[in-house]
Amino acid sequence: MNKRGEDTMKKQRLTIFAIATFLAFHSMPAYAEENTFNMEEAIVLAISHSRDLEKSQINIARAQVTYDQAEKKYDNADSPSSFDSYADAMVDLDLLYQKKQLLEQAQNPDTNAIDAVQNEIDIQERKVDSAETAYHNDLQDKESLRDKMNDAKDNYDDASIAKEQQEEALKYDVQKQYAAILQQEQNILVLQRKRYYQKSLLDIEKKRLALGGSSKDTVAQLEQSESAAESSLAEAQRSLTTLKGDFNEQLGRDYKAQLNLKPLEVKRLDSIPTFDELAPIVKKNTVKLSQLERDIQKKEHAVSDIESDRWNTSKSADDLDYQEDLLHLDKKVLQVDLKEQNYQTEQNIRKLLSDLASKQESETQLQDQVETAQRQYDADKKRYELGYAASLQVTKSELELFEAKQKLFNNERDIFLTQQALTLLQAGIVVN
């Protein structure tokens, strides 16, 4: 197989934090099984010990209780009692109309009797108007109960979706922290080699100084470099302790508990979708967009309700116009928010696709650098074995190989996290 074919196979393998990468940085010591976790185990523990998810579950339960109560009130308001009063008043009015008609059709109409009935009709018409107003008010109350029930249902749905998204975001956060710990462990290995190299340089220069082949200034500079390498290593070790401690707490473990993480083996995406392929999927699954569209529809329904209220003489036209104007303005604000959310969603898609493409382009270059550093190290090691190179040259080329592999390791970590973020975005979830 030619070199290009070998490179192609490398890119198709399980790449992210694979065991082969670990071996390149030397094998890790054996760990106690009870303190060793893989990614899936860490995610399960983090979810089970998440106080935020527990609060979200309580919010769902609260929303369910509110919805059940609103639904019960709406169901109990199916037949307003005012309807019977309104119907009875209409029947009485109709009887009076019939009575007046009979009096008017008599051979000798009694005008006094007709006037008396007309007075009764006038009084009854006012009663009908009052009963009708009461009935329509009750209908409005029922509509209000319906709206409250629908709002409660929306709140329940929103709470359920929020918990689902929160859980997915937590999984990503665990993946991010998991990868950061692995990355820092590899960084420490590199810094250890760098410190060893700087110490070797310093030891050689001190010997040269003793023989008169160097200067105190040169030794002092190397001492500073060696001290800086020592400080960088100590800082990285402190950072790793903090990362592991925070992660332990997220998993429900003691902050200082021993923690060992297994290397990840994650497949690359089979193919990277284009923006045009992603956009409709992401927009369809983005809850914020759906919520804004829903709220816009609510404003439109509210405007329709106002139009149906214009028959009610107890409400002034000015008040109704004012309410309708406010609803139209609220709707316009929501429409602007919808446009902004669409824009942000598209920007998120473009950014992730751009980041992923950039990291994948860098991968080829970084792989080439690793191969170049590996060849140099192998050559220097061979020359050293034959007596043509100093041990310091081998140490230097080994350090350069470690650094090249670390850059590739970090790039693969970024690819892994970007792929995860892209997968979540397709489900409508944005993570940082």
More reliable by pLDDT, 327 or 14: 327
Strands 260-261 and 36-37: parallel
Q: Which CATH topology does 7-28+270-432 take?
A: Outer membrane efflux proteins (OEP) (1.20.1600)
Amino acid letter at 109?
A: P
- Give long-range contacts, CB 8 A cutoff, 24+ apart: 57-61: 57/163, 59/159, 59/162, 59/163, 60/156, 60/159, 60/160, 60/163
Across 379-389, average pLDDT: 94
The answer to whether the CB of 198 falls within 8 A of the CB of 222 is yes
Return the domain boundaries, the chain: 7-28+270-432, 40-194
Amino acid letter at 254?
A: D
| Phi and psi at residue 325, to the nearest 5° | -60, -45
| Phi and psi at residue 210, to the nearest 5° | -65, -30
Residues 419, 410: Cα–Cα separation, whole Å:
14
The CATH class given to the 40-194 domain equals mainly alpha
In this prediction the pTM is: 0.75
Confidence of residue 269 (pLDDT cuts 50, 70, 90): confident
Question: Residue 125 has what pLDDT?
Answer: 86
Question: Residue 210 has what pLDDT?
Answer: 92
Q: What value, to the nearest 5°, has the Cα angle with vertex 177 and ends 419 and 251?
A: 125
**CA 392 distance to own-chain centroid:** 50
Task: Check whether 23 has a pLDDT greater than 50.
Answer: no
Task: Check whether 22 has a pLDDT greater than 70.
Answer: no
Burial class (CB in 10 A: 0-12, 13-18, 19+), 168: middle
Per DSSP, what are the bridge partners of residue 16?
A: 266
Question: Residue 9 has what pLDDT?
Answer: 36
* Structure-token pair, residue 269: 């995406």
* Whole-number percent of the chain with pLDDT over 70: 90
Q: Which residue has tokens 């008010």?
A: 137
More reliable by pLDDT, 33 or 374: 374
Question: Residue 312 has what pLDDT?
Answer: 61
Least confident of 244-248, 302-306, 345-349, 427-431: 302-306
Least confident of 80-84, 105-109, 179-183, 343-347: 80-84
Beta strands per DSSP E along 194-312:
260-261
**CA 377 distance to own-chain centroid:** 44
Q: Which residue has tokens 């099984």?
A: 33
The answer to whether the CB of 298 falls within 8 A of the CB of 290 is no
Sequence-distant (≥ 6) Cβ neighbours of residue 200 within 8 angstroms: 391, 392, 395
pLDDT digits (tens, 9 = 90+) for 119-153: 998 898 888 888 877 777 776 777 788 888 999 99
Least confident of 14-23, 86-95, 160-169, 206-215: 14-23
